[in-house]
Amino acid sequence: MKIAVTGSIATDHLMHFPGRFGEQLLPDQLHKVSLSFLVDDLVVRRGGVAANIAFGMAQLGQRPVLVGAVGADFVDYRSWLERHGVDCDSVHVSEVAHTARFVCTTDEDMCQIASFYAGAMAEARNIELAPVAARVGGLDLVLISPNDPEAMLRHTDESRQRGYAFTSDPSQQLARMSGDEARKLVEGAAYLLTNEYEKDLLESKTGLTDAQVLDLVGVRVTTLGRDGVRITGRGLDPIHVPVAHEIKAYDPTGVGDGFRAGFFAALSWDLPLERAAQVGSVLATQVLETIGTQEYQVKPADFVERLTESYGAGPADEIRPHLPS
């Protein structure tokens, strides 16, 4: 299955605050908040939603095509991704801007305050999907993840026009979009992915009910944090998959990207939606237990053990043959 993963490619600057943000925020003073948090750790990691998803899919034996825009400083990052099985030949390199940067601080409650510098990502709006499809011999699925908003709309429109099956994953970019733009991202999507808050925000912005959104898409996947994931769709009985067994949480950054990587890798193996969500949940847990979004390694024996602990021997036996040797 040939999958193009479009979206942000960035460097993550991850910090830890040894306290709780909530204890420093005064409700009646939020309109003039001015705070500086003294952090006790700084780690610089490779990141970006599309790159994280592509890396996770490659860990599961896929050869995803990464589509996005970067700066000239991408050389080492490209080598890292290519060594781990990601096709980077369709990445656009800017002549003037740096690769995007994500700066995030996490507190003791796993709450986060973050900023994102777009940089070269703004040039993703100039990328056309047709040459990508021609280079790899067609596209079975286009993942449209958070990116420059105009790029997201362009990739969505082109996917509809050319008949590429696509996923809508607007995530944090919903905050920047109008209701009309948000609807354009969703309409005709084979899969729509949001967390629970984004689900409500999407419906509020578009004025659509949950049922009306389902009329526009094939399958709706809503991640519920500690409560797992819910999958609904036209003609589908609702599916709920609990989170996978966890050893120790370290950093929630990129957990949703890990879920998406596992979910779509499993769908490419022709596994049913429930199994796909289970694979996604186990991969998401590996990200949660790692500092950094691409610092984990999928070891098939350990992966199967975690599947068995979380969902039973039956699901693990169905998934085992598809894992890389």
Distance CA 105, CA 4 (A): 30
Give the active site residue among 87, 140, 257, 270: 257
Contacting residues for 317 by C-beta, under 8 A, at least 6 apart: none
Label residues 87-118 b or e (16+ Cβ within 10 Å = b): bbebbbbbeebbbbbbbbbbbeeeebeeebeb
CB 245 within 8 A of CB 309: yes
- Describe the strand order of the beta sheet including 41-47 as a list of residue ranges: 41-47, 10-16, 100-106, 112-117
CB 5 within 8 A of CB 145: yes
First to last CA, the chain: 19
In the residue annotation, 180 being an active-site residue is answered as no
Instruction: State the pairing for strand pair 65-67/3-6.
Output: parallel
Contacting residues for 238 by C-beta, under 8 A, at least 6 apart: 230, 231, 232
If we measure between CA atoms, which residue out of 156, 35, 50, 171 comes closest to residue 105?
35
Alpha helices in the chain (DSSP H): 49-59, 75-83, 129-136, 149-162, 179-186, 196-206, 210-216, 255-268, 273-288, 300-311, 313-319
Structure tokens at 128: 């056309």
Active-site annotation, residues: 257
